Structure 1
Amino acid sequence: MGKIIFIYLIIVNYIAFSLYHLDKQRAIKGKQRISEKNLLTIAAFGGTLGAYLGMQKYRHKTKKLSFKLWFYGILILQIVFFFAVYKKRFFI
C-alpha cells in the first residue's frame, strides 16, 4: 500500500509542477490560462510540493495574496492530516 501511495505522490507532484510551468508559459504568450481552481485542486490532491516548486522555479502565482492564502491553507490541512494519520499509526 505504501508503494502505491508513493508512486501516486510522485505522479501528482510531477503533474502539479508541469501545470504551473504550462500556465506560466501560457501567461507569457497571452494564451488561455489554467484556472486557479484547477491549480489549487491538483495541490489539494497531494501535489503541494510540486506546486510549490513550480511556483518558486517559474515565479508564478507568488505575488497574488488570495491564491497564496488558499495554497498555504491547503498545505496546513495536509500537514495536520499527515500528523493525524502518523499519530494514529504510531499508537495502534
Structure 2
Amino acid sequence: MKLFLYYILAINLYGIFAMYSDKRKSQKGKWRTPENTLFTIASAFGALGIFIGMRLFRHKTKHNKFVIGIPLILVVQLFVFFKYIYKMI
C-alpha cells in the first residue's frame, strides 16, 4: 500500500512537470509533448497532476479534449482509489 501511495505521488508530480515543460516548449516554439503522452500519464493515475498543471500553468484549457477528459479520468480514478482503500479497511 505504501509503495502504491509513493507511485501516486511520483506520477502526479511527473504530470505537473510534463504540463509545465509542454507549456514552456509551446512558448518557445519547440518540439511539444504529444497529447497522447499527456493522456497516458493521466491514465496511469496521474490525472490529478495533469489537472493541477492545466490550472497552474493555464495550459490546454481551451482544448475540450482536456477540459472534459482529464476531470473525467480523475473522477474515475478517485472512485477506484477510494473503492480500493475501502476494501483494505
Among all aligned residue pairs of Structure 1 and Structure 2, give the percentage whose two residues are the same amino acid: 35
Count, aligned residues: 89
Q: Aligned Cα RMSD in Å?
A: 1.4
Query: Who is 2:60 aligned against?
Result: 61
Specify the alignment match of 2:23 in structure 1. 24
1:76 maps to which residue?
A: 75
The gaps in structure 2 that reach 5 residues or longer are none
- Note the C-alpha offset of 1:52: 1.5
Select the structure of larger CA radius of gyration: 1
How does the TM-score come out when normalised to structure 2? 0.87
Contact 1:36 1:67 in 2 (8 A): no
Conserved? CA contact 2:50–2:70, under 8 Å: no
Q: TM-score, normalised by structure 1?
A: 0.84
Unaligned runs of 5+ in 1: none
